[in-house]
Every structure is written in structure tokens, then in C-alpha cells.
């Protein structure tokens, strides 16, 4: 069956106490509504509809990567009202799946399980049994255990409040019936709203079969109303991701202290210490070791590389058997060949470092092409910026650069050259040449030191 998927994202979310729409708050580094849209997009040939209202321009801008029909609900009057706004855009045949922009951990496997139950005369409900069902609509069944209605908490009788099976709000309804049911909705209830759940009783009235499907766990259908619930879902997602990483061969020294805010792909025997953060897409090869407090974003790290504590890597490529940190920073455009070493308090940017080359201490290497087996002394910087433009520094193989050297770009240092410590190099250095550029030292006898007045 063809499928429409409606994501409800019009609510204000006042309990978040935020200047932003509730659905734009992030779980695992991704806005909640974007997570739902990504899951919905995995359903083959589904037509997506996004219902927006409060700060809808922000929500729409955030979701531009998805092929979504935007439907406005400026004066929300309940979930049934939201579906009514979408009704003119629904396909004549097929079924409509209703999701929520603040229920970010719903799984595609669950949605596909619902789709398998869907027919032109079947309504599929996603329900779950809770020890404490307070706040949820209760699933009412008849003597034959068939679903006949959903009663909201505020409208439930004392006996109905004892029911543990609750409505998650996620349902899949056949479009040939849904249009009629939406037209028949009324707001005769405690909230004065149009409840989408009222269509359950209509389905029972019309002889439509109502079947239920259960999610894998409660977190999958948990919604967010405040920042406490947001934090709880963040921890749940991180726990799920930690388990997945360990099942795929990674060792996490403390699974409760890792944050994956994107996609982390690990090889075999990867070791990750505590408080590491991964953003965007990060790929770690076999045998990679990462020390505590590291931050990796959109990077690839080769086999057997060691990343020591407090190292930052952003939009960079690191080869095999490299040694980084502690306190190193690789900025966008850095490429390290195999066995390169970037030591403590070294920063690189748009730099290609050759095989076996070492930048060990307190240096800045930017806009640089460096060959193999280069040794860069402590305190070396490439002066790549003239105040207007960036310029390239080229360092060939087997160059030795003494400590406290400034290489004023554009400049080229040829193979096997040596630069004396404390030099400011402004001209090309030839192959195997020694370059030194220091001011003449002057010593004065009996120099009186300044004294405190």
C-alpha cells in the first residue's frame, strides 16, 4: 500500500522555556524533528507531510534536506485538527501514518512492522503497557479483547484509569476511511480539542479491524515536554549507541561517559577512554586508541593510531600508526600520512604532513605541504596570513627545522635542508642547505637590572 506519513510539529512546548521550537532541540546532536523525518524517510515510497505552527519558519528551515510537504497549523486545536489540515493532501488510496516531532527515538523497524499489518479495512495502533500509565490515553477493549476506543486521561473513568495498556499516539489508518472519520470529529471533551484518538471508536463502529503493535521498548515512544525528559532521552540514545559500539568490537572504558552526536564507525579492537565526544561522521580503523576528553568531528582515523588525551580533530584525515596529542588540535583540511606525529599543544590547519614527519611541541602548521621524515622543532610556526590572503608553505622530505622558527609564506624549503633554531625564514632554502636568520647578538657588561620602585 502507498503511504502518507504525517509528522506533527506545531506545538509551542512552553515547558521547555526556550526561544526555539521544542522539536528543534537536539538528541544525539540532531534536532528531534529531523530524527523523526530521517526515520520516516527510510519507509519506501512514503509521502511526507510536516505540520508546523509555533515558530514554523524555524522548523521548516531546519527540515529543508527532506522532501516534505509543509502544512501550517497556526491555531492548534489538537491532533485531530492537525490531521484535518493535511487531509486535502493525502493520497486517495493507501494509509496515513501519524508520527510526532517530539518523539525522536521511534525506530523504522517498528514502523515497518505496523505497515505489514495495514490493509484498506485495518487500523493499526502502536500501544505499550506501562507500570505507571498516568498521563496517557487508555486502550479500551471489549469482552473479546478487541480495541473499541481510546480514552484520554482527563476523560477517563475510575475503572478506565486502572488500564495499563496505553496509546502512544502513533497510528496507521486507511485513507479510504480516514477522510470520513476526520470530518466527523468533534471537540466535545475536557480540553475542547479535536482528538485524533476519537477515530478509534469510529473504526470500531464502522467494522474496521483494529490491530495493535508494540514497540521494542518504552524509550522508543517517549515524548519530550521539558528539558528533564530531553536529558533522559539523550542518555537513553547514548546507552543504545554504546551497546552497539561494544557489540561491534569496540572497548569503552566507561559506556556511560561517551557521546555520539552523529555516526561513529569503528573497526576491531578500538579502545575509547572516558568523556569522548564524536560529531558528524567519524570512522576509526582497527586498533585505534583514544584517550580521555577527546573531541572528534567528521574525520577518518587509520589503523593503530593513538590519540592521547584532550585532542581535537575536525574535518581531517589521519593515516595508520600516527601519534597525536596530548592537547593537539587538527583543524579542517589536515591530512596526516602514516606514522606522522603531532605532539602536545600543536595546531594544524589545511596541512598535509608526510609519512613519518614529526611536529612534536608548541607549534602551528597551517596551509602547508610537508614531505616525509621532516622534524619540526618546538615553537615553530608557518606565517601563512599576510592580513588579507593565505599563502602556502612547502617543506620537502628530510628537512630539519630548529626550534622557534618562523616560516614566512609563501616559501619553499627543499629536500634535506636544515634551518637553525630561532630563525625567521623569508626566502627559499635550497636542497641540503643550512639556513639561519638571526639578529646579531649584543652583550653589555654590568647591565643594571630594573628594580621595583
Angstrom distance (rounded) from CA 12 to CA 21: 6
Q: Are 237 and 255 in contact (CB under 8 A)?
A: no
User: Which positions make up the binding site?
Assistant: 8-11, 22, 73, 78-79, 100-102, 137, 152, 167, 225, 331, 349, 364, 375, 378, 384-385, 403, 421, 438
Q: Is 361 a catalytic residue?
A: yes
- Assess whether the previous peptide bond of 326 is cis (omega < 30° from 0): yes
DSSP annotation of 14 reads: G
Residues 6 or more apart from 318 whose CB is under 8 A from it? 299, 300, 301, 302, 305, 324, 330, 336, 340
Angstrom distance (rounded) from CA 414 to CA 409: 14
Angstrom distance (rounded) from CA 189 to CA 168: 19
User: Which positions make up the binding site for UDP-N-acetyl-alpha-D-glucosamine?
Assistant: 8-11, 22, 73, 78-79, 100-102, 137, 152, 167, 225, 331, 349, 364, 375
Residue in the structure block whose three cell numbers are 485513507: 175
List 49, 244, 361, 391, catalytic entry: 361
Residues 6 or more apart from 311 whose CB is under 8 A from it? 291, 294, 295, 324, 325, 326, 327, 328, 329, 330
Angstrom distance (rounded) from CA 103 to CA 222: 6
User: Which positions make up the binding site for acetyl-CoA?
Assistant: 378, 384-385, 403, 421, 438
Angstrom distance (rounded) from CA 66 to CA 86: 17
Q: Are 280 and 296 in contact (CB under 8 A)?
A: no
User: Which positions make up the binding site for Mg(2+)?
Assistant: 102, 225
Joined grid coordinates for residue 267: 573497526
Burial class (CB in 10 A: 0-12, 13-18, 19+), 264: buried
Buried b (16+ CB within 10 A) or exposed e, 67-93: ebeebebeebebbbbbbbbbeeebeee
Q: How many C-beta atoms surround the C-beta of residue 200 within 10 A?
A: 26
Catalytic residues: 361
Amino acid at each position: 500500500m502507498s503511504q502518507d506519513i504525517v509528522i506533527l510539529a506545531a506545538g509551542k512546548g512552553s515547558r521547555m522555556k526556550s526561544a526555539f521550537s521544542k522539536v528543534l532541540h537536539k538528541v544525539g546532536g540532531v534536532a528531534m524533528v529531523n530524527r523523526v523525518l530521517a526515520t520516516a524517510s527510510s519507509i519506501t515510497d512514503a509521502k511526507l507531510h510536516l505540520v508546523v505552527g509555533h515558530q514554523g519558519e524555524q522548523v521548516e528551515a531546519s527540515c529543508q534536506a527532506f522532501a516534505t510537504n509543509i502544512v501550517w497549523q497556526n491555531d492548534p486545536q489538537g491532533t485531530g485538527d492537525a490531521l484535518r489540515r493535511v487531509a486535502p493532501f493525502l493520497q486517495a488510496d493507501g494509509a496515513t501514518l501519524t508520527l510526532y516531532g517530539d518523539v525522536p527515538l521511534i525506530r523504522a523497524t517498528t514502523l515497518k512492522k505496523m505497515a505489514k499489518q495495514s490493509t484498506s479495512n485495518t487500523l493499526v495502533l502502536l500501544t505499550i503497557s506501562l507500570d505507571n500509565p498516568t498521563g496517557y490515553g487508555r486502550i479500551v477493549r471489549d469482552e473479546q479483547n478487541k480495541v473499541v476506543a481510546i480514552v484520554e486521561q482527563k476523560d477517563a473513568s475510575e475503572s478506565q484509569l486502572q488500564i495499563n495498556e496505553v496509546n502512544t499516539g502513533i497510528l496507521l489508518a486507511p485513507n479510504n476511511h480516514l477522510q470520513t472519520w476526520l470530518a466527523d470529529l468533534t471537540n466535545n471533551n475536557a480540553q475542547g480539542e479535536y482528538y485524533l484518538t476519537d477515530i478509534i471508536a469510529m473504526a470500531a463502529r464502522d467494522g474496521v479491524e483494529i490491530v495493535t503493535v508494540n514497540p521494542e521498548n518504552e524509550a522508543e515512544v517517549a515524548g519530550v515536554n521539558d528539558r528533564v525528559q530531553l536529558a533522559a532521552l539523550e542518555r537513553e540514545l547514548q546507552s543504545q549507541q554504546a551497546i552497539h559500539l561494544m557489540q561491534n568490537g569496540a572497548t569503552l572504558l566507561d559506556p556511560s561517559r561517551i557521546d555520539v552526536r552523529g555516526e561513529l564507525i569503528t573497526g576491531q579492537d578500538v579502545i575509547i577512554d572516558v568523556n569522548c565526544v564524536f560529531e558528524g561522521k567519524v570512522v576509526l580503523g582497527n586498533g585505534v586508541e583514544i584517550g580521555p576528553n577527546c573531541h572528534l568531528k567528521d574525520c577518518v582515523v587509520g589503523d593503530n593510531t593513538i590519540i592521547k588525551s584532550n585532542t581535537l580533530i575536525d574535518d581531517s584525515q589521519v593515516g595508520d600508526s600516527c601519534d597525536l596529542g596530548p592537547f593537539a588540535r587538527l583543524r579542517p583540511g589536515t591530512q596526516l600520512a602514516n606514522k606522522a606525529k603531532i605532539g602536545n599543544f600543536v595546531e594544524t590547519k589545511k596541512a598535509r604532513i608526510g609519512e613519518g614527519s614529526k611536529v612534536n611541541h608548541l607549534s602551528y602548521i597551517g596551509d602547508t605541504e610537508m614531505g616525509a621524515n621532516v622534524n619540526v622543532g618546538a615553537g615553530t610556526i608557518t606565517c601563512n596570513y599576510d592580513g588579507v590572503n593565505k599563502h602556502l608553505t612547502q617543506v620537502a622530505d628530510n628537512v630539519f627545522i630548529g626550534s622557534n622558527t618562523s616560516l614566512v609564506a609563501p616559501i619553499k624549503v627543499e629536500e634535506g635542508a636544515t634551518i637553525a633554531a630561532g630563525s625567521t625564514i623569508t626566502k627559499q632554502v635550497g636542497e641540503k642547505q643550512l639556513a639561519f636568520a638571526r639578529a646579531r647578538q649584543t652583550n653589555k657588561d654590568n647591565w643594571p637590572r630594573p628594580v621595583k620602585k
